[in-house]
Amino acid sequence: MIKSDVLDKGFIEVIDSLGNDLTVVNSARVSFGKRKTKFDKSDERLVRYLAKHKHYSPFRHLQVQFHIKAPEFVMRQWYKHVVGIETTSNSSTKDHAWNEISGRYVEYDEFYEPTIYRKQSDDNKQASEGEFKGDDIKDVESNWKQAHSMSLTAYKNLIDSGMAKEQARCILPLTLYTEVYWTGSFQAVMNFIELRNEKTAQIEIQEYARVLLNQMKEVFPKTTELWSEAHGWV
């Protein structure tokens, strides 16, 4: 399958997929009782039309399952994306296609270590601008690494003392790496990419979005190309 590294220790791996480039057009043409066996120029026009005019239901028949390793602060943003991956039952609950590694069963020991330490933007409270350089970076990097070392040592000491893993994990920082399985429709993945592969998104999650887009080009090449054209990404 397809696996790509992201950040210093993360990755995205395509575990499984359902459908192909013909799935969208056949799902749309079922209204007329038709089915195609080869993808041609008329199908390109149809997919482009569906994407441009936001007729998204045929795209939901394409499904992809990913194995993702990412820092907790990235996944906190990722969890917000439910378009195309949730179903509403008769009850008040909603089913999300997520499963995550559990700190109740395993011990954590990996943290995100950036290659660039960014400065706070002067005019945007939620953005970064520029980076630390020269002597300034030494204190920043030292504090970052010290925080990781101290929290990991305390975490392991608590476990060694007999504290439950489910409680000891609470002291670990958001740079902690976690792993999840995420299954979503083509629409769900492309919606995530559109919102997170954007200059106002946090840089780390932008990197995951770009990797996802490249992987979708491999799994569903024509559909991804035509969707990207229709949404002005190319």
- pLDDT at position 195: 94
Q: Parse the chain into domains and list their residue ranges.
A: 3-106+177-230, 118-171
196 part of the active site:
yes
- pLDDT at position 125: 82
DSSP state letter for 176: B
> What would the two tokens of residue 79 be?
């969890």
Catalytic residue (one of 29, 76, 196, 210): 196
Taking the C-alpha atoms of residue 60 and residue 124, their distance in angstroms, rounded to an integer, is 36
Taking the C-alpha atoms of residue 224 and residue 220, their distance in angstroms, rounded to an integer, is 6
Helices (H) and strands (E) in the chain, counts: 8, 9
By the 10 Å C-beta count (0-12 exposed, 13-18 middle, 19+ buried), 161 is classed as exposed
- pLDDT at position 159: 96
Full-model pTM: 0.92
By the 10 Å C-beta count (0-12 exposed, 13-18 middle, 19+ buried), 126 is classed as exposed
What does each C-alpha distance from 63 to 47, 55, 89, 125, 152 come to in angstroms? 16, 17, 20, 36, 37
Per-residue pLDDT of the chain (234 residues; tens, 9 = 90+): 799 999 999 999 999 999 999 999 999 999 888 898 999 999 999 999 999 999 999 999 999 999 999 999 999 999 888 776 655 444 444 445 789 999 999 999 999 999 999 999 888 888 898 899 888 899 999 999 999 999 999 999 999 999 999 999 999 999 999 999 999 999 999 999 999 999 999 999 999 999 999 999 999 999 999 999 999 997
Residue with tokens 């999840």: 180
For strands 177-185 and 63-71, give the pairing. Answer: antiparallel
What DSSP string describes 56-123? -GGGGG-EEEEEEEEEHHHHHHHTT--TTTEEE-SSS-EEE-EEE--TTTS----B---SS-EEEPSS
Residue 112 dihedral angles phi and psi, to the nearest 5°: -75, 125
Nearest to 185 by CA among 67, 39, 18: 18
Rg for the chain (alpha carbons), in Å? Answer: 21
What does each C-alpha distance from 171 to 10, 147, 156 come to in angstroms? 21, 11, 11
> Is residue 184 classed as helix, strand or coil in its secondary structure?
strand
3-106+177-230 belongs to CATH 3.60.10.10: no
What's the full length of the chain, in residues? 234
Longest dimension (CA), the chain: 69
> What would the two tokens of residue 62 be?
């394409």
